């Protein structure tokens, strides 16, 4: 009997140690889901200490809460958040492209759409019109991001030369300062992030990459059963809050329209809503 009890205690301890670091069991069938994102990704993901968490975080929270779950949100640099989620120390990161975390578990519904553009000083005449147009342009971008197959290959082949990658905290503002100091000719950044910032003075849009990229709630591959259950709950909740207009209300808080979320249209968010 003592041996059986000991084994039971050991098993219970091991079961608890594989739970994500911020997670807890709330009750039967109810989970606390830990999500991380950089604070500088506003309006996608903002400071966890501020009044607004970011529209993608708000969408995830509303969707999961509609299914009886709780969301705990924390800020981490993106590279670190990827590592923490991959190891299972947190449940998810967002918004994430599937190409950035191919072994993660993803819901069916995306929470954002991203367009990447080049930004240059106002007196810079060069413009982006395809990879050939940047052969003599030095630019800075963010490490850990996926910019699409062709641009990712170009960056990989030219990193340390014509391309500089930076990571860590407050990347968006650091990208701008590197251009302003003349270390590079341009920066490559998310259009919504750049144009929502108050730190874009003196820089202009020099052309955007083809295509837009869907961002998802990317769930840890460490516990596929748990992550799959969260993904399924998110999908059910997404349909609920899309149908009852909660997503539209979330976007309205950020002065955004339905075009920033895949699988959302004017049918759900009438144009006069904003």
Domain-wise residue ranges, the chain: 22-113+214-273, 116-211
Within the chain, strands assigned E span 25-27, 30-37, 70-75, 92-96, 112-114, 116-121, 139-142, 163-166, 186-190, 203-208, 213-219
CA torsion 118-121-126-130 (nearest 10°) is 0
- Look at 18-27, 94-103, 218-227 and tell me which has the smallest mean pLDDT: 18-27
**The pLDDT of residue 10:** 41
Percent of the chain exceeding pLDDT 70 equals 87
Sheet of 203-208: strand order equals 163-166, 139-142, 186-190, 116-121, 203-208
Average pLDDT across the chain, whole number: 87
Q: Per-residue pLDDT tens for 171-204?
A: 888 999 999 999 999 999 999 999 888 778 899 9
- Fold match between domain 22-113+214-273 and domain 116-211: yes
Helix axes 55-65, 224-243, angle to 10 degrees: 100
Q: Per-residue pLDDT tens for 99-124?
A: 889 999 999 999 999 999 999 999 99
Rounded Cα–Cα distance for residues 154 and 189 (Å) = 16
The closest of 273, 270, 242 to 255, measured between CA atoms, is: 273
Within 143-200, strands assigned E span 163-166, 186-190
Helix axes 246-253, 224-243, angle to 10 degrees: 90
| Domain 116-211 sits in CATH 3.40.190.10 | yes
Within 116-248, strands assigned E span 116-121, 139-142, 163-166, 186-190, 203-208, 213-219
What topology is assigned to 22-113+214-273 in CATH? Answer: D-Maltodextrin-Binding Protein; domain 2 (3.40.190)
Rounded Cα–Cα distance for residues 29 and 226 (Å) = 11
Token pair, residue 251, equals: 């976007």
Rounded Cα–Cα distance for residues 19 and 35 (Å) = 13
**The pLDDT of residue 46:** 95
Rounded Cα–Cα distance for residues 236 and 249 (Å) = 18
**The pLDDT of residue 266:** 61
């Amino acid at each position: 009997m003592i041996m059986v009890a000991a084994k039971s205690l050991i098993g219970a301890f091991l079961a608890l140690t594989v739970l994500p670091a911020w997670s807890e069991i709330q009750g039967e069938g109810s989970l606390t889901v830990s999500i991380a994102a950089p604070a500088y990704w506003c309006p996608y993901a903002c400071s966890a200490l501020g009044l607004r968490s970011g529209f993608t975080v708000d969408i995830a929270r509303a969707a999961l809460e509609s299914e009886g779950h709780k969301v705990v949100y924390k800020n981490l640099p993106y590279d670190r958040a990827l590592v923490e989620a991959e190891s299972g120390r947190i449940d998810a990161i967002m918004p994430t492209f599937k190409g950035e975390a191919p072994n993660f578990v993803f819901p069916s519904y995306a929470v954002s759409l991203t367009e990447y553009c080049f930004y240059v000083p106002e007196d810079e005449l060069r413009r982006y019109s395809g990879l050939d147009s940047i052969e003599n342009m030095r630019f800075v971008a963010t490490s850990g991001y996926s910019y699409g197959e062709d641009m990712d290959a170009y960056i990989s082949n030219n990193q340390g030369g014509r391309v500089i990658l930076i990571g860590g905290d407050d990347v968006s503002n650091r990208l701008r300062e590197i251009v302003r100091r003349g270390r590079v000719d341009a920066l490559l950044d998310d259009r919504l992030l750049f144009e929502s910032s108050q730190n874009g003075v003196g820089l202009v849009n020099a052309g955007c990459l083809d295509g837009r990229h869907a961002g998802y709630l990317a769930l840890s591959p460490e516990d596929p059963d748990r992550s799959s259950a969260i993904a399924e709950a998110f999908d059910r909740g997404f349909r609920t809050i899309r149908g009852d207009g909660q997503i539209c209300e979330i976007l309205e808080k950020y002065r955004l329209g339905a075009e920033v979320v895949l699988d959302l249209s004017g049918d759900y968010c009438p144009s006069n809503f904003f």
